[in-house]
Amino acid sequence: MNFLKPAARPWRHTDFAYSRVRREGYGDALLHILRTTALVESRADQYGDYLRAVFAPRDARWREAIDGWNGEEREHGRALRRLCESLRAEFPFDGLMQAYLAGVHYHACDGSSVRGDIAGELIARCVVEALASTFYRVLRDACSDETGRTLLNTLAQDEARHYGMFLAMLDEEGQRSRVSLWQRLRVGLGRMLELSDDQIMFAAWLVESPPTPGYGRKAVTRRYQAALYPLYRYEHLYFAARLLGPVLLGRRNEWLNRGLAAGLWLGLRVRGGISAACLRSAQLRQRWASPAAAAKPRQERASRCVPGKYLPR
C-alpha cells in the first residue's frame, strides 16, 4: 500500500501561466503572506531530511512516502516563488532565503522526534497538513487572479493528500502501540499554538514591505495575524475541523467537528481582533510620542538587522 495517493492531475511548477498574472488580483496583505509562504515552503528538503531520520526505524514504504512528499513540497516552494516574482520583480528570493535559513534553524536530523515519538510526529504532521490545505483555500478565495487561484487551489489539494498520507501512517503506527487521546490533544493542540513561532514569523519579517527595523516576534505576529485571520470564513474552518477531528479525537463525529469549527472561528476572530487593536494602539502611541518620526517614511528609519543575531539557536 502506498501511503501517498497520486494527484488526480500531476503537475510541475512550470505548468502555470505566470505571464498572465494580474497584480490587481492581489491585495498587499495577500502578497505579503504569499512571499512569506514562498520562503517557508522552500525549506522542504530540510523538513524531508528530518522526517526521513525520525522514520528510519520503519520499512521502505515510509521512506518512499517521505521522498514523494518531499518532492511535492519542493514544487510548492518553486511555484510560490515564481508567482511572487511575477507579481513584483524586486522579490530577491535568493538573498531572502539565505537570510531565512541563517536566521531560523530547523530541528536536528539525529533521528529523534521533537514530538517525543513517531506517533507524536505523525499527529503534528497531520495537523500541519490539515491547516496548510485550509490556508491555501483561504488564500485562493482572497485572490481574484485566475492563475493565482488555480495555483493555490492545486496546493490546497496537494496538502489534503499529504494529510491523508500522514493519517494513514498514524493509523498504521496506532496498530503497533495505542495512541492515547491525551497524546493526540497535547501534541495536536500544541502544534497549532506553534503557528506563531519563528519558523513563519521570521520569514514574515524578512519579506515585509516597507521593512521594519529589528526582528520582534510579537510585533510581527500581530501584523501577520491582523492581515491573515480576517480572510478565514466559517466554511474554511469547518473544512479544517473535518480534517483535524479524526487526528485530535481519534474518531469522526459531525457534532464534534461543528463544535471544533465554531471554536476555531471564535479563536481566530478574537486573536485577529486583539492583534488589530494592539497594532492600532501602537501606531497611535508612536504618533503621539514623535509626530515628526511618524511622518517619516519607515524605510528611511529602517536598518535591517543581521538575521540570526537575534535568534541564537
Q: CA–CA separation, 234 vs 40, rounded Å?
A: 26
Q: Residue 73 Cβ, how far from Fe ion at the closest point, in Å? A: 5
Q: What is the dihedral of CA 154, 160, 166, 169, to 10 degrees?
A: -110
Alpha carbons 65 and 162: distance in angstroms, whole number = 10
Quick check: 119 and 160 in contact, CB under 8 A?
no
Q: Does 137 bind Fe ion (CB under 5 A)?
A: no
By the rule CB under 5 A, 159 interacts with Fe ion: yes
Binding string to Fe ion for residues 204 to 243, with x set by CB under 5 A, is what? ----------------------------------------
Tell me which stretch binds Fe ion (CB under 5 A): 160-168, 197-205, 248-256, 283-291: 160-168
Nearer to Fe ion, 136 or 224 (CB): 136
Residue 203 near residue 8 (C-beta atoms within 8 A): no
252-270 per-residue burial string, b: 16 or more CB within 10 A, e: under 16: eeeeebeebbeebbeebee
- Which lies closer to Fe ion via its Cβ, residue 158 or residue 275? 158
The residue (of 76 and 223) whose beta carbon lies closer to Fe ion is: 76
CB-based contact 227:29 (threshold 8 Å)? yes
Decide: is 162 part of the binding site for Fe ion (CB under 5 A). yes
Residue 198 binds Fe ion, judged by CB under 5 A: no
CB contact at 8 A, 244 and 229: no
Contacts 24+ apart (CB under 8 A), 61-70: 61/1, 61/2, 61/3, 62/3, 62/169, 64/2, 64/3, 64/4, 65/2, 65/3, 65/4, 65/165, 65/169, 68/4, 69/4, 69/162, 69/165, 70/44, 70/45
The one segment of 32-40, 154-162, 220-228, 230-238 that binds Fe ion by CB under 5 A: 154-162
Judged by CB, which is closer to Fe ion: 165, or 241?
165
Complex with Fe ion: residue 165 or 226, whichever CB lies closer: 165
| Choice between 70 and 212, CB closer to Fe ion | 70
Compute the least distance from the CB of residue 75 to Fe ion, in Å. Answer: 9
Closest to Fe ion by CB, 37 or 275: 37
Looking at the Cβ atoms of 2 and 290, the one nearer to Fe ion is 2
The helix/strand/coil state of 105 is coil
Question: Which grid cell is 256?
Answer: 464534534
| Per CB under 5 A, 35 contacts Fe ion | no
Q: Report if residue 125 touches Fe ion, rule: CB under 5 A.
A: no
How many residues belong to the site for Fe ion (CB under 5 A)?
Answer: 5
Contact positions with Fe ion (CB under 5 A) in 54-73: 73
At its nearest, how many Å lie between Fe ion and the CB of residue 259?
26
- Report d(CA 97, CA 14) in Å as an integer: 20
Closest CA to 18 of 65, 101, 81: 81
Q: Does 76 bind Fe ion (CB under 5 A)?
A: yes
Residues in contact with Fe ion by CB under 5 A are: 73, 76, 129, 159, 162
